[in-house]
Amino acid sequence: MARILTLTLNPALDLAIQCGPLRLGEVNRTESTRLDAGGKGINVARVLAGLGHEVTVSGLLGTDNEAPFVRAFGECGLRDAFIRVPGETRINAKLSEPGGRVTDLNGPGPQIPAHALDSLTERLESMLPGLDAVVISGSLPPNVAPSKLAGLIFMVRARQVPVWLDTSGAALMSGLAARPSGVKPNETELAEWAGHPLDTPEARLQAALRLNAEGVEDVIVSAGAEGVVWAQRGSALMATSPRVPVVSTVGAGDTLLAGMLHGILSGLPRERGLRFATALAAESVRHVGVGEPRTADFEQLQQQTLVRSLSSDSFTGGNPG
Ligand SMILES: Nc1ncnc2c1ncn2[C@@H]1O[C@H](COP(=O)(O)OP(=O)(O)O)[C@@H](O)[C@H]1O
Ligand SMILES: O=P(O)(O)OC[C@H]1O[C@](O)(COP(=O)(O)O)[C@@H](O)[C@@H]1O
């Protein structure tokens, strides 16, 4: 069992909406709706706690609608170290249509008073001793500068605690420059850093190896149904996802990251950890919410997840890897 802290600077209440084919500009009738406490670090924490780790959640939480979060933390056995800020945490709408198309409408989040960030930094610093990993996940509220995120990464690294990052846009650029120990972008997010599309496994591999060479030890590039490339200190594996019916892809990336951390922090052989995490992420898309390893066919999903090693030759007809 590991001790992990996840940091969500911009959590969200996720409004999951199941509907028929969406008709824009018209009245649509929904099939079901569900409101859950979410946000990347909170989802990662849920999965890790379910796998038996001791998890603390922190970040910035609006006081006006905190009740569902507090309830979820209690239900999942998460230690609550969120700094409270005035106002509401954002609500993100997730529209799932038949056929697996999911449309995310993510809000900006509230304005954060400067003293709240100072309190968060102090709290984080006081919690670092004894932690096995820190995960910083998700977007930043509108008035939090990306350089603040880089500052948090530097602080954690200075205490020799591994720090993982999962964010996007300017926050990802700034965060990567601070050299986190690990990162989990999806292909679109990493393409922005690379400056060109990463629409093939080879392109993802090259970008991941480049980041390894720049000092990010673990780079996990997710590519939806196509699966995952994981480059660790210059040596790469690729996992191909099992085919599953898609209900909601929301939380798949968070599940993947949590599954990978579980493998790494539990000392699982690399191939086994990647298979576990990829199968768990596939499990998550079959329903709303994060992946559930206790599901009856999870062993089967793992068997259907193909893992192979990759090298630059893997794509040139040379060594099949
Ligand atoms: N349609 C799918 N079928 C099977 N696995 C999926 C599917 N969509 C996502 N996954 C799994 O979830 C992981 C994360 O999904 P992805 O969409 O790449 O990340 P993010 O949610 O961060 O954008 C993928 O690498 C894959 O393992
Ligand atoms: O902080 P962002 O980038 O707006 O993302 C927030 C959203 O990400 C989620 O954590 C889902 O993330 P993934 O689909 O990448 O796993 C939702 O719960 C939340 O609404």
Question: Cα of 111 to ligand 2 centre, how many Å?
Answer: 19
Cite the active site residues: 254
Whether 208 and 176 share a structural domain: no
β-bridge partners, 8: 59, 137
Minimal-distance CA residue to ligand 1 atom 10: 224
Q: Quote the domain boundaries for residue 248.
A: 184-321
Whether 58 and 159 share a structural domain: yes
Q: Does the Cβ of 43 fall within 6 Å of ligand 2?
A: yes
pLDDT at 190 over 50: yes
Minimal-distance CA residue to ligand 1 atom 6: 225
Whether 275 and 168 share a structural domain: no
Per the CB < 8 A criterion, the answer to whether 10 and 138 are in contact is yes
Minimal-distance CA residue to ligand 1 atom 14: 253
The string of pLDDT tens digits covering residues 122-138 is 999 999 999 999 999 99
Whether 44 and 191 share a structural domain: no
Whether 133 and 208 share a structural domain: no
Per the CB < 8 A criterion, the answer to whether 190 and 196 are in contact is no
pLDDT of residue 124: 97
Q: How many domains does the chain have?
A: 2
How many angstroms separate the CA atoms of 188 and 72, rounded?
Answer: 30
For 42, 140, 254, 315, the CA distances from 169, given in Å and listed in that order, are 20, 10, 17, 29
Backbone angles phi, psi at 215, to 5 degrees: 115, 5
Q: Is this structure's pTM higher than 0.90?
A: yes
pLDDT of residue 311: 80
Q: Which residue has the tokens 């954060």?
A: 112
Prediction ipTM score: 0.98
Angle value at C-alpha 89, between 86 and 93, nearest 5 degrees: 160
Of the candidates 160, 180, 200, which is a domain's last residue?
180
Whether 23 and 101 share a structural domain: yes
Helix axis angle for 146-158 and 114-127, nearest 10°, is: 20
Question: CA end-to-end span of the chain, whole Å?
Answer: 33
Of the candidates 144, 161, 180, which is a domain's last residue?
180
Whether 21 and 131 share a structural domain: yes
pLDDT at 316 over 80: no
Find the residues whose C-beta lies inside 6 A of ligand 1. Answer: 186, 222-225, 227-228, 241, 244, 246, 249, 252-253, 256, 278, 281-282, 285
The string of pLDDT tens digits covering residues 60-105 is 999 999 999 999 999 999 999 999 999 999 999 999 999 889 999 9
How many angstroms separate the CA atoms of 111 and 152, rounded?
Answer: 19
Band of the pLDDT at 317, cuts 50, 70, 90?
low
Scored b (16 or more CB within 10 A) or e, 74-94 reads eebebeebbbebeebbbebbb
Whether 190 and 295 share a structural domain: yes
- 1-17 mean pLDDT: 97
Of the candidates 162, 180, 198, which is a domain's last residue?
180
DSSP 90-148: EEEEEEE-TTS-EEEE--------HHHHHHHHHHHHHH-TT-SEEEEES---TTS-HHH
Q: Which ligand is nearest to the CA of 258?
A: 2
How many angstroms separate the CA atoms of 99 and 21, rounded?
Answer: 9
Whether 268 and 167 share a structural domain: no
The string of pLDDT tens digits covering residues 244-265 is 999 999 999 999 999 999 999 9
Share of the chain above pLDDT 70, in %: 98
Tokens standing for residue 316: 């040139």
Whether 150 and 200 share a structural domain: no
Per the CB < 8 A criterion, the answer to whether 112 and 85 are in contact is yes
Tokens standing for residue 223: 């590519």
User: Are β-strands 228-232 and 235-240 bridged in parallel, bridged antiparallel, or unpaired?
Assistant: antiparallel
Question: Cα of 224 to ligand 1 centre, how many Å?
Answer: 3
Whether 130 and 254 share a structural domain: no
Q: Does the Cβ of 295 fall within 6 Å of ligand 2?
A: no
Band of the pLDDT at 199, cuts 50, 70, 90?
very high
Choose the residue to mutate in 9, 15, 43, 60 for probing ligand 2, maximizing ligand atoms within 8 Å of C-beta: 43
pLDDT of residue 321: 40
Minimal-distance CA residue to ligand 2 atom 7: 39
Band of the pLDDT at 319, cuts 50, 70, 90?
very low
Whether 293 and 164 share a structural domain: no
What CATH code is carried by the domain that includes residue 30?
3.40.1190.20
